[in-house]
Amino acid sequence: MNTDILGVIAMFTITFLLSIPLGKYIAKVYAGERTLLDKIFNPLERGFFKFSGINSSKEMTWQQHLVALLTINAVWFMMSMAILMNMSWLPLNPDGNPSQSADLAFNTTISFLVNCNLQHYSGETGISYLGQLWLMFLQFVTAGVGMAAAVVVFKAFKEKTTTQLGNFYNYFVKSCTRILLPLSLIVASVLVFQGTPMTMEGKDTITNLQGDTVQVSTGPVAAFVPIKHIGTNGGGFFGANGSHPLENPTYLTNMVEMIAQFIIPMAMVFAFGFFIQRRRFSWMVYGVMTVGFLLLAIPNVIMEMNGNPEIAKMGIDNSLGAMEGKEIRIGAAASGFWSIVTTVISTGSINSMHDSSMPLSGMNELLAMMINAFYGGVGAGILNFFIFIILAVFISGLMVGRTPEFMGKKIEAREMKIAMIIALFHPFLILVGTALAAAFPSVGSSAISNPGFHGFSQMLYEYTSSAANNGSGFEGLGDNTLFWNISTGIVLLLGRFLPIIGPVAIAGLLAEKRYIPESAGTLKTDTATFGLVVFVVIAIVAALAFFPALALGPIAEYFSM
């Protein structure tokens, strides 16, 4: 078997094997059970809560959880705008990088607040070390926010009938200290030993093989990169992101970073099963997600390994695959696999240029974000999938003539309205944003670098990435303009917080209802049959909504080759 394929299989297998014990550990953390790290983090957390005056043992309703979540994000927004707009004269700026304009700072702030990290600037020239450290902080806390929101849903289905769903700040702090920080330290250790720089000094002067003297940007890269993947953030310290040799020096670091971005979204599925003591249900969810993921990933690996047939027709050796925009040290197979991992789980980091992918590979990358339900980002991924479970339960109930029930709670009109709004709002944001950009060429489509079908794909990708909180891009788009900064910033906000508010609200409303014990007529939601129903619902509601837009972009580009 091809060694490149073996590398891809190894990455997926290792992630799967590690995700089960990690899921069990995550469930223990949120359930308040004893873990090996208690001796380290119990004093740290007690000190933090004592200093802040927060009572971490006070139970909250779902409404109080959302108020706390939105309030703390508003504070971070104001702090971020102040830092990014004043970097030029603030400390930790050895390279003299400029401050960001108001519209770019708005876009950058919103992007990192919503765990998207859409970057309309180049990291090494567009931001100071202070700015990088601040964004690294946001990568920790926004991932923690997503995980804390997911635990509210966990808690709602663990209790039979309740209005008290734990404490947001307790879940949030534990997510950062006991899960994100230890995993980031492990990844950082590997990166440092593989050559990733960790320094606060400015650019380094070197003499290259041609004898030219060049300035090479460095910085606290080894601290920044781990949480960008562990927290499924994705923002690069350098403009080239994970294809840059200082962010991702070797094939080993490529594997480690791949596993790092994949492991928590996968582990959260198993954590849900351990937390509510329904492991078969978590295996059903994992099965649906994995089937969907493989249907996207396998074709991408094959298409990128096969290369561009138009180049082969010219008599050029194409045996390495479609290598435009890719790194030799990584290869076509690992690049194709990464392109789906990063778009399925909302990381958005890259180890190759997606703008150079084969047309149908680009389509699959778009579909991964459009569906936005296979694994997903830390915390938010399970929330997105939860919406489709609610829809599937309701449709299944109608098919058999029974009142829809999920885990002992009746799903009624109020919950269904919220679920449908969330499910349909995602395609609404993407398609309306793309339509506006196409309708006003002076501010929208003028930014594309490749007129025609691919240019349309560039615009479609930008709004899809924004709505899915992904952050990757078809980087041929000149997106650092007032129109793109503001319009994608608005899509980023709505695309992040509504899909969090909706599932938390549904879970809270269901938790308040009277528990109905399961009977012979209860719909079983932990079977392969129900998993198939969920998969079909995802395909109909999410994927098919985008087919006309995909036909105008990557599909048309494929047939024009």
**Residues 325-353: pLDDT tens digits?**
999 999 999 999 999 999 999 899 999 99
Residue at token pair 């959260």: 268
What residues does 216 pair with on adjacent strands? 204
| DSSP code, position 214 | E
Exposure of 52 by Cβ count < 10 A (0-12 exposed, 13-18 middle, 19+ buried)?
exposed
Whether residue 417 contacts residue 425, with contact meaning beta carbons closer than 8 Å, is answered with no
Query: So where are the chain's domains?
Result: 3-202+214-560
43 pLDDT higher than 90:
yes
Residue type (1 letter), 76: W
Alpha-helix residue ranges (DSSP H) falling in 32-128: 38-52, 62-84, 102-113, 123-126
**Exposed/middle/buried for 157, CB within 10 Å: 0-12, 13-18, 19+?**
buried
Range scoring the smallest mean pLDDT among 259-263, 354-358, 444-448: 444-448
User: How confident is residue 476, by pLDDT bands cut at 50, 70 and 90?
Assistant: confident
Both tokens of 70, joined, read 């939105």
Number of neighbours of residue 442 by Cβ within 10 angstroms: 7
How confident is residue 266, by pLDDT bands cut at 50, 70 and 90? very high
The mean pLDDT value for 267-286 works out to 94
Distances (CA, A) of 244 to 48, 188, 253, 350, 478: 37, 16, 12, 10, 20
Q: What pLDDT shows up at residue 1? A: 53
Cα 98 → chain centroid: 29
pLDDT in tens, 170-199: 999 999 999 999 999 999 999 999 999 999
Mean pLDDT for 59-66 is 95
Q: How far apart are the first and last CA of the chain?
A: 30
Distances (CA, A) of 125 to 128, 218, 243, 507: 8, 11, 17, 44
CA angle 462, 463, 468 (to 5 degrees): 105
**pLDDT tens digits along 100-130:** 999 999 999 999 999 999 999 998 999 999 9
The number of CA neighbours under 13 Å toward the Cβ of 535 is 17
Q: How far apart are CA 303 and CA 336, in angstroms?
A: 8
CA distances in angstroms from 14 to 255, 282, 285, 380, 509, listed in the order given: 10, 19, 19, 23, 38
Is pLDDT at 519 greater than 80 in this prediction?
Answer: no
pLDDT of residue 506: 94
**What are φ and ψ of residue 468, in 5° steps?**
-90, 5
The token pair that represents 251 in the structure block: 């094939």
Name the burial class of residue 355, with classes exposed (0-12), middle (13-18) and buried (19+) by CB atoms within 10 angstroms of its CB.
buried
- Could you tell me the pLDDT band of residue 317, with boundaries at 50, 70 and 90? confident
Residue 19 has pLDDT above 90, yes or no: yes
Share of the chain above pLDDT 90, in %: 78
% pLDDT > 70, the chain: 99
Answer yes or no: is pLDDT of 152 > 90.
Answer: yes
For range 531-537, the mean pLDDT: 93
Element at 205 (helix H, strand E): strand 204-207
Average pLDDT, the chain: 92
Q: 3-state DSSP call for residue 409?
A: strand
Q: If residue 482 lies in a helix (H) or strand (E), which one and from where to where?
A: helix 482-512
Alpha-carbon span 140 to 167, nearest angstrom: 19
Kindly indicate the confidence band of residue 12, based on its pLDDT and cuts at 50, 70 and 90: very high
Q: Is the dihedral of CA 166, 168, 169, 171 positive or negative?
A: positive
Closest CA to 237 of 249, 221, 223, 251: 221
